[in-house]
């Protein structure tokens, strides 16, 4: 094959990849998934969430270890097999000649990916930047937004530490005032939450930071209502969507925010080390990029992607993760994971000594739920669950929150949750004995 023909062939292969009708997802799952979907198409999303035959088909798309029950999907989720295969396939291609295959071939895949992410997010592709995680996305905005000494930012003590530390660094470096309110979760009243933010605001408040789904215990915050209130007071709004994007059925404009950042390796199940940032088009120009760029005042969203050498295979993997997600459907996926969370939570909540730290109301929660046993420190509970039952969770001891965090995903089986419920009952009983 002539060199030009080979180059064209390779470029077509790379561009086809996750963004074509012949994607790895289509090759692996088209027939089985279409049949499974037809079996539940007549059902509402909430009813389909309980159809174990359908979800068993989805579960087979993962390669999770049978040696442990992983209930810490809030930290990072496993990628489906087709996502792993995409990364491996294009990583192998890259290493056949990195500087050629990366920049001449695979780099052509970013624009189709940007379009695909924009459709999922409900935004313009010219507002989407592809990066490595929520911290990078949100820190880009936090460090890049023009604030001066005395300007105020309102957030909470339950926001993610990397974001709180970014504001503290700006306070130390630039003299901004970082104000934090605090909640006793769960809170099941929108007005109570909105008023708490509003009471912290003054005429000097320039920015309000909202964690859409609080990582510690999964409290879902009323982002739209907080944003509307903040805008009425002349402040801009940044939303941390690390745990909501790819889980909840929403579009970014629904939140009425100005800036949004997320990790794609959580509920979207994209490759580890993938993220996304959204900036409203008319605000891109004023945000300084986190890394250097030739024209930092450009209104081109791509100025935030000047990372130097990066993983192009991961970008193909993101595309396959979106294929996997869209084949399930956002609403159906949200309802399934909410059902799984409530399945175990309703079964342990009345066990003597057990306490839930998260709402069971779909307006205020979805996947993540905190739970504790009276008299058992969270770390001890986490260790007992793993050492005795091989159930993996994470302990939380932070700002009024003392529990373990439990987070199922679409690959989690009812049998796994039954084992968890049984384990919690045994541990609680042994403590009472």
Strand partners of residue 355? 372
CA distance 343 to 49: 11
CA distance 305 to 254: 25
Q: Does residue 422 register a pLDDT over 90?
A: yes
Per-residue pLDDT of 306-351, as tens digits, reads 988 888 899 889 999 999 999 999 999 999 999 999 999 999 999 9
The rounded mean pLDDT for the chain is 94
pLDDT at residue number 113: 95
The correct answer on CATH 3.40.640.10 for the domain covering 104-323 is yes
CATH code for the domain defined by 332-431: 3.90.1150.10
CA distance 213 to 211: 6
Residue that wins the pLDDT comparison between 312 and 55: 55
pLDDT (average), residues 38-63: 97
Question: Percentage of the chain with pLDDT > 90?
Answer: 88
* Predicted confidence band of residue 433 (pLDDT cuts 50, 70, 90): low
Q: Break the chain into its structural domains and give their ranges.
A: 104-323, 332-431
pTM for the model: 0.94
Cα radius of gyration (the chain): 22
Q: Does residue 175 register a pLDDT over 50?
A: yes
Strand partners of residue 356? 371
Per-residue pLDDT of 196-212, as tens digits, reads 999 999 999 999 999 99
pLDDT at residue number 424: 98
pLDDT at residue number 13: 52
Q: Would the CA dihedral through 297, 301, 304, 307 be positive or negative?
A: negative
pLDDT (average), residues 23-36: 89
* Predicted confidence band of residue 44 (pLDDT cuts 50, 70, 90): very high
pLDDT at residue number 21: 65
Q: Does residue 235 register a pLDDT over 70?
A: yes
pLDDT at residue number 14: 52
Question: Percentage of the chain with pLDDT > 70?
Answer: 95
Per-residue pLDDT of 359-401, as tens digits, reads 999 999 999 999 999 999 999 999 999 999 999 999 999 988 9
Per-residue pLDDT of 71-119, as tens digits, reads 999 999 999 999 999 999 999 999 999 999 888 888 888 899 999 999 9
Per-residue pLDDT of 286-313, as tens digits, reads 999 999 999 999 999 999 999 888 888 9
Q: What are phi and psi of 412, to 5 degrees?
A: -70, 135
CA distance 348 to 393: 16
* Predicted confidence band of residue 189 (pLDDT cuts 50, 70, 90): very high
Lowest mean pLDDT across 12-26, 37-51, 54-68, 100-114: 12-26
pLDDT at residue number 1: 44
pLDDT at residue number 8: 52
* 93 closest CA partner among 311, 277, 325, 367: 311
pLDDT at residue number 11: 52
* 219 closest CA partner among 269, 157, 270: 157
Q: What are phi and psi of 253, to 5 degrees?
A: -60, -20
pLDDT at residue number 4: 54
Neighbouring CB atoms inside 10 A of 132's CB total: 19
pLDDT at residue number 22: 74
């Amino acid at each position: 094959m002539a060199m030009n023909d080979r180059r064209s062939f390779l470029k077509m292969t790379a561009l086809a990849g996750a963004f074509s009708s012949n994607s790895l997802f289509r090759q692996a799952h088209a027939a089985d998934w279409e049949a499974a979907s037809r079996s539940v198409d007549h059902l509402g999303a909430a009813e389909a969430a309980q159809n174990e035959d359908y979800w068993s088909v989805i579960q087979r798309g993962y390669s999770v270890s049978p040696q442990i029950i992983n209930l810490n999907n809030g930290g990072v989720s496993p990628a489906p097999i087709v996502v792993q295969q995409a990364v491996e396939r294009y990583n192998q291609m890259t290493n056949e000649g990195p500087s050629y295959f990366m920049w001449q071939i695979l780099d052509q895949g970013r624009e189709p990916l940007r379009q695909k992410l924009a459709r999922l997010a409900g935004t313009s592709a010219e507002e989407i930047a592809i990066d490595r995680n929520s911290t990078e996305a949100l820190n880009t905005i936090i460090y890049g937004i023009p604030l001066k000494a005395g300007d105020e930012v309102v957030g909470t003590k339950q926001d993610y530490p990397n974001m709180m530390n970014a504001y503290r660094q700006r306070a130390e470096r630039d003299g901004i005032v970082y104000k934090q309110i605090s909640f006793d979760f769960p809170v099941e009243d929108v007005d109570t939450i909105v008023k708490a933010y509003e009471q912290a605001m003054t005429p000097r408040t320039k920015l309000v930071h909202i964690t859409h789904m609080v990582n510690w215990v999964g409290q879902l915050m009323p982002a739209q209502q907080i944003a509307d209130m903040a805008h009425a007071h002349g402040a801009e709004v940044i939303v941390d969507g690390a745990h909501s994007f790819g889980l909840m059925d929403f579009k970014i404009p629904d939140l009425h925010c100005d800036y949004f950042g997320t990790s794609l390796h959580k509920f979207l199940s994209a490759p580890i080390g993938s993220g996304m940032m959204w900036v409203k088009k008319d605000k891109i120009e004023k945000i300084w990029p986190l890394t250097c760029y030739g024209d930092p005042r450009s209104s081109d969203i791509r100025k935030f992607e000047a990372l130097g050498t990066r993983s192009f295979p991961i970008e193909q993997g993101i595309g396959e993760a979106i294929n996997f997600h869209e084949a399930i459907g956002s609403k159906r996926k949200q309802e399934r994971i909410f059902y799984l969370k409530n399945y175990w939570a309703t079964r342990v909540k009345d066990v003597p000594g057990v306490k839930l730290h998260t709402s069971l109301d779909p307006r205020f929660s979805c996947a993540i739920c905190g739970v504790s046993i009276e008299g058992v420190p969270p770390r001890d509970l986490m260790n007992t669950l793993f050492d005795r039952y091989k159930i993996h969770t994470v302990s939380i001891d932070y700002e009024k929150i003392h529990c373990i965090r439990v987070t199922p995903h679409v690959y989690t089986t009812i049998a796994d949750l039954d084992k968890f419920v049984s384990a919690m009952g045994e541990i609680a009983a042994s403590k009472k004995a």
